[in-house]
A = this chain, B = another copy of it.
Amino acid sequence: MESRPVIASILTIGDELLIGQTVDTNSAWMSQELNEIGVWVHRRVSVGDDREAIWQALDEESRQAQIILLTGGLGPTADDITKPLLCQYFGGRMVVDPDALANVKHIFEMLKRPLIERNLKQAEVPDVCTVIPNRRGTAPGMWFEKEGRIFVSMPGVPYEMKGMMKAFVLPRLLAHFQPTPVVHRTLLTAGIGESFLAERIHEFEWMLPKNIKLAYLPSYGMVRLRLTGRGADAGLKAELEAQFNMLQQLVADVMVTNEDQSISQVLGKILTERGQTLSSLESCTGGYIGHLITSIPGSSRYYLGGGVAYSNALKISTADVRPETLAAHGAVSRETVVEMAEGIRRRTGSDFAIATSGILGPDGGTPEKPVGTVWVGLSAEGRQDSSHFHFRFDRQRNTELAANHGLNALRKFILG
């Protein structure tokens, strides 16, 4: 069986993408989902709410791709360009879809809002498409077929698009193309730069069989390594597993997890398995660590909470940090973060605690403690530790790095 993948293009429509007010998160999510079913996205294109630009992109993308997925241009304030254009492009005429109309009416009833003309127009679709129900909003999706190509038009609202993809588009694409299956294995490393990792596993990569590929996926100071196998033969899964085992051995000392998980998922899993609890007291990270922890469903089982102690007074009152410690070493010091962690652990009665203090910029640095200096304190019954980092980026990136490195230090601390 030939292992040529099915090729897709993603076309996102909307002036908001071109003026840069919207970060396109749809394309990344869609690419991941398509990959899972063995469809390869070879191009992603964004154009504005412009007739000619959309028409041209449809022509161009359908020359090379078998699937063209469109998002955007369908909302109630869209300039009424995309839908009429699609109608003309596929040679149909606009009709009211009774199900879509019922859906619009139902949503407005539920919201107890008056229905206006602009909203009713959402129920109109070209008569040459298969209507994709939208259970999460008013704009229906549209499925077109032309000259062996599939074109799917969906709203740009991520939540609505995702609902349509899961319930309708992905199963139908799978049935229509029966793409060559794809298998992935992913692991997460921390504490080693991309180029040093590459140096270490270069030979491994070079020896990989042709139907297995390695990808480096860096994020926030960590690097994901992903092996992707493509093919229908029965041996592929075993071969991928064997290669993945070898890869794990090569990076054993820097590996965080051998699953496709974030550091907060890994931590959650460890704490859940052990039936232990965690609290946090953040200064420089300002709640971001708490946010990462609580972004995992079910985190209330192991995360008790904690605090954001920006001011020295609050470090003293919420975690019993000694004023003498602050006076002698400053808020950004090993001594302070360890007392913060100890204090919040005692106060909350958790098994473990993490604390941060640092200077994330752009201002507030000194020659001894330049911008980017971060201390992380860790505490458990009868045990303390601390880590020291120095980041060289802007405030946002420094916050992300401090939180992720802090959580990884916590993981190591918990494990021993």
Contact B48 A19 (CB under 8 A): no
Complex CA gap A194/B18 in Å reads 19
Q: Does A116 contact B (CB under 8 A)?
A: yes
Contact B199 A118 (CB under 8 A): yes
Interface string of A141-161 (1 = CB under 8 A from B): 000000000000000001100
Contact B28 A194 (CB under 8 A): no
User: What is the size category of the interface that chain A forms with chain B?
Assistant: 35 or more
A3 shortest CB reach to chain B, Å: 17
Residues of B within 8 A of A118 (CB): 195, 198-199
Residues of B within 8 A of A45 (CB): 43-46
- Give the number of copies in the complex: 2
Complex CA gap A116/B194 in Å reads 12
Interface string of A108-119 (1 = CB under 8 A from B): 000001001011
Contact A21 B308 (CB under 8 A): no
Known: A20-B27, A290-B286, A362-B297. A42 touches B53 (CB 8 A): yes
| Neighbour of A224 across the interface among B21, B304, B309, B313, CB < 8 A | B21
Q: Does A389 contact B (CB under 8 A)?
A: no
Residues of B within 8 A of A305 (CB): 283, 307-311, 314, 318
Residues of B within 8 A of A219 (CB): 21-22
Q: Does A69 contact B (CB under 8 A)?
A: no
Interface centre among A21, A194, A228 (most CB of B within 10 A): A21
A195 shortest CB reach to chain B, Å: 4
Interface centre among A43, A75, A119, A219 (most CB of B within 10 A): A43
Known: A22-B217, A317-B348. A286 touches B297 (CB 8 A): no
Complex CA gap A395/B217 in Å reads 25
Contact B46 A295 (CB under 8 A): no
| Neighbour of A198 across the interface among B22, B77, B283, B349, CB < 8 A | B77
Residues of B within 8 A of A224 (CB): 21
Interface string of A12-46 (1 = CB under 8 A from B): 00011111111111011111111100001111111
Question: What are the 7 closest A-B residue pairs judged by CB atoms, nearest first?
Answer: A287-B290, A286-B294, A20-B31, A287-B287, A20-B32, A76-B195, A44-B46
